[in-house]
Structure 1
Amino acid sequence: MTWMVTGGAGYIGAHVVRALRDAGLTTVVLDDLSTGFDRFVPEGVPLVRGSITDGATVTDAIREHRVTGVIHVAGFKYAGVSVQRPFHTYEQNVEGTVTLLRAMRDADVDRCVFSSSAATYGTPDTDLVTEGTAVAPESPYGESKLIGEWLLRDAEVAYGLRHTSLRYFNVVGSGSEDLFDASPHNLFPLVFDMLYRDATPRINGTDYDTPDGTCVRDYIHVADLALAHVEAARRLDAGSPTEPVYNLGSGRGSSVREIMDTIREVTGHDFEPELAARRPGDPARIVASGELAARDLGWEMRHDLRDMVASAWRARVAAGDGYPTR
């Protein structure tokens, strides 16, 4: 059996690929390298350079490598930017998923693990998000991920696709020093880049109704996330029952102040963050329960916040001057 990982040369996808390889599962990567890096793909794992929006390339990759299942990680992942680029977001995340599912159907590939997002919930009215929490996305990105879940559901009805979708908030850390998060929009790489430039990181809002007054968010280690994708793939291979959606959450979250303090301690950069006013629309606390995923996917938080920061920092230091700033 061969699993194709779309977006497998990116930060999250590359961790999934390595976890599949370590589990003894045959893997092929499809990635257009728009945000990924060919050096992230392990030696011996085929890399097909192409977009999920290119039906011919997707179909050829599935047939040539005898793909039996797809872990769909590829997509345009920047929620804030998606507000300014809605058409691009829908083209990549919705049309791309349609193209992928059509190619899978035509090749009789009947299992799919979808890398969804907790952005489907928008700003929930509860401080602990479960799979039963109402979805109300507030960006084209969140909307496109929800539509992706609907497309999988429709494909199940139409031709028996077996699938599950994994929703999560903030992915951090590194499972290997040669894999780093190069996103220009994620907190860890933003703060690390500022420290490299001797700039001072900022905390937006210190008067929230939280223990230390700063926002609390759900952070999970990328290696833990990758293992959940592997277990989901295994369950689909085995024909075991799966829920349509699983949250991958910490159940407690971490505050921005906690993160800054941990970064200062781990990196040795002695800084005091600038304190700024709240940003409009930032809720005080958003944390997800991972109980359902723990029951079915062996989900657990194997890494604490210090592990997350330390592993991410080691990868950033290892990248050195070769670290991209796009």
Structure 2
Amino acid sequence: MAKILVTGGAGYIGSHTVKKLGEAGYEIVTYDNLSTGSAEAILYGKLVTGELNDTEHLAQIFAQHQFDAVLHFAASISVPESLEKPLAYYYNNTCNVVNLLNCCQEFGVNQFVFSSTAAVYGEIKESPVPESSPTLPINPYGQSKLMSEKIIRDYAQASDLKYVILRYFNVAGADSSGKIGQMGKKAAHLIKVGCDAALGIRPSASIFGTDYPTPDGTGIRDYIHVEDLASAHVDALAYLEQKETSQILNCGYGTGYSVREVLSKIREISGVNFQINETPRRPGDPACVVASGDKVRELLGWHPQHNSLDEIVSSALAWEKKKLSQPYLV
């Protein structure tokens, strides 16, 4: 079975993907600086602690293991933080892609799966949004990811590299077996925040903007269960092992829920009427982001197994409860 390098494999999405890869029989090396991830979340393979800007160390790992493919998750992901620290985002999200591709070139790794984002589309004009929609990011996070996509595409044109770029929509939920979940201390995803409010970890949850041009005035997003997203990466890897063409694919269900609907669902499932604050819009947040996911299903044979808001919220809530009872997970 192939040997895979997973950068950022100790993080939220990366760790769920490592679990799926391990279950599928792949040999895995995770490379992570553990700034937001956790070593305990890696259930398969070997962990190497390191920085992507440490090019000497990175090259040593490539030389030692002779990888067949790279799955690249390591990145900074907060839209508000990217507005405050744009240079840090371009450095970590974009410059480090060059470092990684240099190693791929030097050591003959020609299969690459890249973790991108729906933020590359910016203020979306059509919904659901297809992969052919214009890419006009409205924040440095989205821009840093789009620049990375372009770098990968340019390098692929000049080499034997084949890639699958997966543009994520809003990822939530936790492993259905309860072994792993969202462990980041600074995680600010809506469902994570709502679950924390329901469990008394936070005093409240907030709605940022109630005047969007949507049915209830709050932003609409396409929420995808983290296990389904992890499966899409395994499917992408299998695709690259069999096909000759590179692809850019949306990863979402094609169904949108508003912020108000999501928080109401968390209240319903938790049975807790936690406080919800209504505040002004945040800079850089579009009104509605829903995926057209037909292409990923058709080309990768991806079959989501957890495409239910109830299941997403229930699994996230169960994980946060587990963390309360087992503090070492935090």
Do both proteins adopt the same fold according to a TM-score greater than 0.5, normalized to the shorter chain? Answer: yes
Q: What pairs up with 1:177-188 in 2 under 5 angstroms?
A: 177-181=178-182, 182=184, 183-188=186-191
Contact 1:59 1:104 (C-alpha < 8 Å) held by counterparts = no
SS in 2 for 1:116: strand
Structure 1 regions of 5+ residues with no counterpart?
none
SS in 2 for 1:27: strand
Q: Which letter maps to 1:188?
A: I
TM-score by length of 1: 0.93
What's the CA shift for 1:279?
4.5
Contact 2:195 2:316 (C-alpha < 8 Å) held by counterparts = no
Distance 1:306 1:247 in 2: 22
Structure 1 residues 250, 151: closer, same or farther in 2, change over 3 A? same
What's the CA shift for 1:274?
3.2
Q: Which letter maps to 2:299?
A: D
SS in 1 for 2:158: helix
Distance 1:9 1:236 in 2: 23
Q: 2:309 aligns to what?
A: 305
Q: 1:293 aligns to what?
A: 296
Q: What pairs up with 1:1-326 in 2 under 5 angstroms?
A: 1-43=2-44, 45-175=45-175, 176-181=177-182, 182=184, 183-195=186-198, 196-197=200-201, 199-238=203-242, 240-271=243-274, 273-279=276-282, 282-303=285-306, 304-320=308-324, 321-322=327-328, 324=330
TM-score by length of 2: 0.92
Moved more, 285-294 or 183-192: 183-192
1:227-286 residue CA offsets vs partner (Å, 9 max, x unmatched): 111111111122x14443100122121111221121112222123533445455644322
Moved more, 256-265 or 103-112: 256-265
Q: Which letter maps to 1:34?
A: S
Moved more, 269-278 or 180-189: 269-278
Structure 1 residues 277, 84: closer, same or farther in 2, change over 3 A? closer
What's the CA shift for 1:83?
1.4
Distance 2:281 2:202 in 1: 24
1:181-220 residue CA offsets vs partner (Å, 9 max, x unmatched): 2243211222223332462323234454434443211110
Please report the RMSD computed on the Cα atoms of aligned residues, expressed in angstroms.
1.8
Q: Which letter maps to 1:39?
A: E
Q: Which letter maps to 2:18?
A: V
Q: Which letter maps to 2:289?
A: I
Q: Which letter maps to 1:162?
A: K
Distance 1:275 1:74 in 2: 32
Distance 1:127 1:229 in 2: 24
What's the CA shift for 1:169?
1.8
Contact 1:69 1:112 (C-alpha < 8 Å) held by counterparts = yes
Percent of pairs with identical residues: 39
